[in-house]
Amino acid sequence: MIPTRKANKRQLILDEAAKLFKQKGFGGASMRDLASEVGIEAASMYNHIKSKDEILELICFRVSGMYISQLAEIEATAASYVEKIKALISLHIRLMIEDGAAVSVANHDWKYLREPALTEFKNARKQYEKGFAALIEQGIAAGEFQPVNVSVALFTILSAVRWVELWYRPGRELSAEELEANIITMLLTGLEKK
Amino acid sequence: MIPTRKANKRQLILDEAAKLFKQKGFGGASMRDLASEVGIEAASMYNHIKSKDEILELICFRVSGMYISQLAEIEATAASYVEKIKALISLHIRLMIEDGAAVSVANHDWKYLREPALTEFKNARKQYEKGFAALIEQGIAAGEFQPVNVSVALFTILSAVRWVELWYRPGRELSAEELEANIITMLLTGLEKK
DNA sequence: GTCTATAGGCGGATAGAC
DNA sequence: GTCTATCCGCCTATAGAC
């Protein structure tokens, strides 16, 4: 039987840490806070994790791993570039909704990683951005996209999906599917009516 | 004679604080760090400011004040809704480039404000967002914009201009004007070629 | 207005009993 | 594996000399 993510206390600590870091920031969340959420004393957590820094690393690299493996899958499909970019936007929104706390930590608190993890994480992110940018570039070359600056297009898309973290609540007026459809409309066809 | 912003030591402290908070976060930047940047001892700063919290408040409310007053000016013009939205996008990019550290702190560290400042800041931001959303809504009603969900459009635009803070360096391949033109293209006409 | 010294609290992490 | 007790360092802020 494959253990679920919450099977052991170690994973419970990581999940609660993600929520707490998202809420208070890495620096603002203390090990005593975290222990209280988990239901044990701070000292007891050190039987499950090595340090507070290790917790941050585990969260950040789990998230970067998800993005990179999913990008590889999308790259390998035979879809058009428009479809591939739509799939990437959909991926970001879905991960944000399903695993929001961890994604949020990887987005905001990665800078508190210590070397060598910091450099490793930056490289992973750069690798992801390069793959994403290549799809935009190829889409422009293929005539599917407007000849916009590739970096601007890349970061506009990446940023535009980030606010979902701040805004989305399950049971909001908009369903996840409607949210996704609206963001894709904004990014691919723009606000202005032509 | 009107004093410039750097005329007194108090303002120097605020400017250095904005840079430091942007770099390390409010919690990660200590008063000793800040004093070292200013060139005095930590204790000496308390002759110019009341507390670390006061520094954060002064930075955040200066920024929110700028946005709100500029929004009022744009609302009062006779331009089309397309032009008004373009002016707002331009405002965000310009403030980010000219006063990036303070804007960044107001974007990220406002959550460390203490009551009653926290509630006051949230209300100011909500007021700004409502004004911005109203322009989008009126633009849709006037037939200038696509009938997209107003909140989605608003937050997509607000987020899309935020990454400029992470990306823009004076002397990058793209000038501020080109950057602005490219972002406006992305947001108003979209990535896809039609 | 700046300094040195320090108060008083909270941080991460460890030792050792059970 | 969990606890209590504790180390030691850094934090914001203040007191008081100059």
Separation of alpha carbons A53 and A36, rounded Å: 18
Say yes or no for a CB contact (<8 Å) between B149 and A190: no
The second-level CATH assignment, the architecture, of A61-189 is Orthogonal Bundle (1.10)
- Structural class in CATH, domain A1-49: mainly alpha
pLDDT at A89 over 80: yes
Question: How does DSSP assign A84-151, residue by residue?
Answer: HHHHHHHHHHHHHHHSHHHHHHHHHTGGGPPTTHHHHHHHHHHHHHHHHHHHHHHHHHTTSB----HH
Separation of alpha carbons A22 and A19, rounded Å: 5
pLDDT at B171 over 90: no
Minimum mean pLDDT among A48-52, A125-129, B2-6, B125-129: which range? B2-6
- What confidence tier does A166 reach under pLDDT thresholds 50, 70, 90? confident
Among 3.10.20.30, 1.10.357.10, 3.40.718.10, 3.90.320.10, what is the CATH number of B56-189? 1.10.357.10
- What confidence tier does A194 reach under pLDDT thresholds 50, 70, 90? confident
The pLDDT of A153-174, averaged and rounded, is 90
- Residues paired with A192 in a beta bridge: B145
Between A51 and B1, where is the model more confident?
A51
Residues carrying CATH 1.10.357.10, chain A = 61-189
> How close does chain B come to A40, measured CA to CA in Å?
26
Q: What pLDDT is recorded for position A156?
A: 97
Residues carrying CATH 1.10.10.60, chain A = 1-49
Q: Chain A contacts of B153, Cβ < 8 Å?
A: 182, 186, 191
Q: What pLDDT is recorded for position B188?
A: 98
Separation of alpha carbons B54 and B31, rounded Å: 12
Q: What are phi and psi of B107, to 5 degrees?
A: -75, -35
Q: Contact, A145 vs A132, CB < 8 A?
A: no
Percent of chain A with pLDDT strictly greater than 90? 90
Instruction: Say which of B112, B146, B191 has its CB closest to residue A187.
Output: B191
pLDDT at B49 over 90: yes
Q: What pLDDT is recorded for position A5?
A: 58
Q: What pLDDT is recorded for position B5?
A: 57
Q: What pLDDT is recorded for position A4?
A: 52
Q: What pLDDT is recorded for position A6?
A: 60
